[in-house]
Amino acid sequence: MKRVCGFGAFYLDASVQGFGWPAGWASGRALAVHPAARGHGVAHTLLATCERLAQDSGAPVFAFPHR
């Protein structure tokens, strides 16, 4: 059985998030990993995928807020 074990949102235009980041930057948000899947590289894979999407789109920056 396949299960969702993590989630991360990718924004091609970081300016829509309301953090004051400029248009043209890419960004991510809402990274979450199921407790049972932690320690298996899920977050790393999600962030690496977002970084690749940002690079492929030509964005000069990939930003990810932390709180």
The predicted-structure confidence for 25-36, as pLDDT tens digits, reads as follows 999 999 999 999
pTM greater than 0.95: no
25 contacts 59 by C-beta, under 8 angstroms: yes
- Give the percent of the chain with pLDDT over 90: 90
* Unique residue bearing structure tokens 């969702």: 4
* Residue 67 pLDDT: 65
Does the pLDDT at position 14 exceed 80?
A: yes
Name the token pair of 39. Answer: 């320690």
The whole-number average pLDDT for the span 28-47 is 96
